[in-house]
């Protein structure tokens, strides 16, 4: 199953409906297929929620989006629906209910068994004991999804360790997992510091955060938690290929056209990489011209190197340095992984695909 991309849309928050429609259309053009919305944000204007929500969903459905709504018992009053008539939410266009606080485990299981919706559980707060209690009610796991929380307050986002633990739990039962990344274009109020699932992603470029989730292989959907991600953010996440870890690099001015062609090819880390380097198993076969010796440069962590003619039959070998190595005149340093993405190197395990994006070219 391919990775789903999603956006978040919030009603009753003072956003113009025309702006929301334009955002939906743009996201749809980039292949986004999922909308998350919350029907119990304390700051939302309860007098406007129902009308704005109805209009938003109608247009989103025309574009083919699926709608997940985060609800609590208070949401029913806002929408004018009795709790026992929960399936009336289908008439509003909601596909999936994400259950927040206010629903006990038995109620959650009953909703899965009796309602028309898929039910999305809070992946951040449910541990193995709670999940087993829910599943013990005899429900169909095919009706379940999981989505991590987002965290508007700085310093409260999940640790990567807990994210891994909880995500692995759900995936062990075949339940798909989603998580949020922040947008820096229009952070959601009232705190305005992003709404990511992981704390380490709060101030990270959202494209890099998405790469991290892809590399973890622990999520099935990535959702912008903030409203109105920028065009650059939307397109950057949309362009990522989940089966290949992309590394943003700055190329050296001395890089030759042959070296650039090798660099920008598709690579696989050898099944027997070196202790200190990631080794491309394809690079030497991509080399069709002599790689001339360049002025030797330092090889810090993240340096991308291509062996020159002085390395004899290794000419054309591409490596990514994982631990600082001494200068070697037989190896040309052609690029450097940006500092923000050095942590991704640990995810490029033996047999893993990787590729590079030259951000200097992209910035022109």
CB 167 within 8 A of CB 177: yes
pLDDT at 181 over 60: yes
Specify whether 104 is located in the same domain as 175: yes
How far apart (Å, rounded) are the C-alpha atoms in residues 296 and 71? 60
Question: What CATH number is associated with residue 313?
Answer: 2.40.100.10
Specify whether 203 is located in the same domain as 146: yes
Question: What CATH number is associated with residue 68?
Answer: 3.20.20.70
- Which of 223, 242, 261 terminates a domain? The answer is 242
Specify whether 137 is located in the same domain as 185: yes
Specify whether 306 is located in the same domain as 171: no
Specify whether 52 is located in the same domain as 180: yes
Specify whether 335 is located in the same domain as 287: yes
Specify whether 184 is located in the same domain as 257: no
The pLDDT of residue 72 is: 79
pTM, two decimals, is: 0.94
- How many residues make up the chain in this entry? 364
Averaged pLDDT of the chain: 92
CB 41 within 8 A of CB 10: yes
Nearest to 94 by CA among 124, 126, 129, 70: 70
CB 334 within 8 A of CB 252: yes
Domain membership of residue 115 as a residue range: 4-242
127: which DSSP letter?
Answer: -
pLDDT at 86 over 90: no
Domain total of the chain: 2
Residues in contact with 200: Cβ distance below 8 Å, sequence separation at least 6, in sequence order = 157, 160
Specify whether 172 is located in the same domain as 149: yes
CB 296 within 8 A of CB 329: yes
Question: Coil, strand or helix: which one is 37?
Answer: strand
- Which of 242, 259, 291 terminates a domain? The answer is 242
Specify whether 193 is located in the same domain as 297: no
- Which of 199, 224, 242 terminates a domain? The answer is 242
Q: pLDDT of 11-54, one tens digit each? A: 888 889 999 999 999 999 999 999 999 887 666 666 677 888 88
Q: Which residue has the tokens 């030259």?
A: 358
Nearest to 283 by CA among 303, 312, 263: 263
Question: Coil, strand or helix: which one is 229?
Answer: coil
Specify whether 135 is located in the same domain as 237: yes
Specify whether 137 is located in the same domain as 278: no
Specify whether 205 is located in the same domain as 220: yes
């Amino acid at each position: 199953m391919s990775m789903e991309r999603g956006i978040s849309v919030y009603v009753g928050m003072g956003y113009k409906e025309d702006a929301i429609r334009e955002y939906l259309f743009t996201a749809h053009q980039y292949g986004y297929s999922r909308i998350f919305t919350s029907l119990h944000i304390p700051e939302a204007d309860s007098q406007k929620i129902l009308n704005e929500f109805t209009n938003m969903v109608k247009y989103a459905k025309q574009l083919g989006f699926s709608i997940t709504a985060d609800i609590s018992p208070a949401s029913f009053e806002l929408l004018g629906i009795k709790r026992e008539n929960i399936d009336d939410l289908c008439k509003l266009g909601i596909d999936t209910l994400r259950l927040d606080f206010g629903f006990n485990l038995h109620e959650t299981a009953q909703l899965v068994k009796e309602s028309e919706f898929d039910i999305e559980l809070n992946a951040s707060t449910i541990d193995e004991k709670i999940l087993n209690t829910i599943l013990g009610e005899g429900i169909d796991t095919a009706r379940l999804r999981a989505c991590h929380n987002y965290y508007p307050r700085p310093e409260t986002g999940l640790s990567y360790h807990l994210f891994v633990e909880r995500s692995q739990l759900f995936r062990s039962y075949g339940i798909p997992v989603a998580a949020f990344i922040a947008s820096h274009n229009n952070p959601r109020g009232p705190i305005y510091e992003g709404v990511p699932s992981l704390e380490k992603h709060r101030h990270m470029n959202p494209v890099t955060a998405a790469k991290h989730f892809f590399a973890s292989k622990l999520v099935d959907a990535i959702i912008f938690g903030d409203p109105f991600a920028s065009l650059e953010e939307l397109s950057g996440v949309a362009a990522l290929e989940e089966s290949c870890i992309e590394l943003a690099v700055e190329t050296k001015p001395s890089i030759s056209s042959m070296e650039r062609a090798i660099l920008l090819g598709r690579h696989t880390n050898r099944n027997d990489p070196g202790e200190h380097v990631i080794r491309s198993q394809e690079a030497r076969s991509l080399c069709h011209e002599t790689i001339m010796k360049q002025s030797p440069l330092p090889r810090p962590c993240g340096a991308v190197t291509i062996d020159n003619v002085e390395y004899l039959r290794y000419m054309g070998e591409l490596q990514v340095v994982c631990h600082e190595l001494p200068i070697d005149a037989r190896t040309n340093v052609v690029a450097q992984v940006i500092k923000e993405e050095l942590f991704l190197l640990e995810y490029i395990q033996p047999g893993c695909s990787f590729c590079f994006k030259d951000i200097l070219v992209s910035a022109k």
